[in-house]
Amino acid sequence: MTSRCILQTTLLLYFSTMALAMSNDLLRSQLSSSSLECQELLLQLNGTTEYCLKDRINFEIPEEIEKSRQFQKEDIILITHEMFQKIFDIFRRNISRTGWNETTVENLLVKLHWQKEHLEIILEDVKEKENFTWDNRTLLHLKKYYLRIVQYLKAKEYSICAWTIVQAEICRNFFFLNILTDYLQN
């Protein structure tokens, strides 16, 4: 009886480990695929012209994101969720003056929303874990960063040049997102 329990426990641990490894790889590939698709949709929108150079601004993306610092798996999920959430909120704003294809924008919002929801589910499981300390500092920097973007759009009255500058900035966001998701593999 004891040997049988030991065998069952061993099998359970083995397959759980395999399942966790497979789930990390699955999440990584899913996030990478989502960010690439969003990036492609973003680039389909009409971009900057030479006349918009005067509207450029440095939004100061957090250094830990730009330098691709290694995070724990739970922090990566939290950060990526925050990024998808904020990007979704930005592109829900007034884009009437851009002349962008509304179908392309709608597809972008759908993909952003789906990925955000998926990460929320995973995040709830992560929050139930005990003895885990979140990287609140990085999260605070991210919130301030996206607030600056929103305030810039409001200040420029959602002009086409402002949206073009924001479009270029969000393209960088997706690149750093891809680097972050790569750390889930390890």
Partner 1 sequence: MVWNQNASLVRPQNLYLVVCISFVFGVSSAFPDLSDKFCTFKVTFRNFRLILSWELKNHSVVPDRYTLRYTVISRPDQVKIVEHCSNTTASSCDLTDVWEVLPETYSIRVDGFRGNTTLVQCSSYLFLVTHMSLEPPEFDIVGFTDHINVLVKFPPVIPKILGGGVLKFYLSLIIEEQSGNIVKKHNPELNENITGNFTYVIDKLLPNTNYCVSVYFKPRNLGAVHRSPVKCILLQPGQETESSESAKIGGIITMFVIAAVIVITIIILKRVGYICLRNHFPKVLNFYNFSTWVFPEMPPLETVAFVEVIHVNRKKKVWDYNYDDESDSNDDTATPQTNAGGYTMHGLVGRLLGPASASSATPEDCMEPDAEEPDPSEPDTDIDTEPLVPSGPSPGQSEGTSGAYECRGKQLQDPITEEDSWSTGGSGDKITFNVNLSSVFMRVLDDDLEVPPGLPSFPEETYNLQESHRLETSSLAANGEGTQPLFPTPSAECQWPEDVLSDESDSSESDVDIGDGYIMR
Q: Of 16, 19, 56, 134, which lies in the binding site for partner 1, with binding defined by CB under 8 A?
A: 56
Contact between 172 and partner 1 per CB under 8 A? yes
Binding to partner 1 in span 63-92, by CB under 8 A: 67-68
**Choices 88-96, 102-110, 122-130, 175-183; region in contact with partner 1 by CB under 8 A:** 175-183
Structure tokens at 5: 């329990």
Question: What angle separates helix 2-44 from helix 73-91, to the nearest 10 degrees?
Answer: 30
Is 181 in contact with 35 (CB distance < 8 Å)?
yes
17 exposure class (CB count in 10 Å sphere: 0-12, 13-18, 19+): exposed
Binding to partner 1 in span 1-20, by CB under 8 A: 3-4, 7-8, 11
Which of 55, 32, 56, 72 minimizes the C-alpha distance to 179? Answer: 32
Q: Give the chain's length.
A: 186
d(CA 95, CA 91): 8
d(CA 59, CA 100): 23
Q: Of 79, 112, 176, 184, which lies in the binding site for partner 1, with binding defined by CB under 8 A?
A: 176
Minimum CB distance to partner 1 smaller for 102 or for 128: 102
Binding mask 91-110 for partner 1 (x = CB under 8 A): --------x-----------
Write out the residues near partner 1 by the rule CB under 8 A: 3-4, 7-8, 11, 36, 39-40, 43-44, 46-50, 53, 56-59, 67-68, 99, 164-165, 168-169, 171-172, 175-176, 178-179, 182
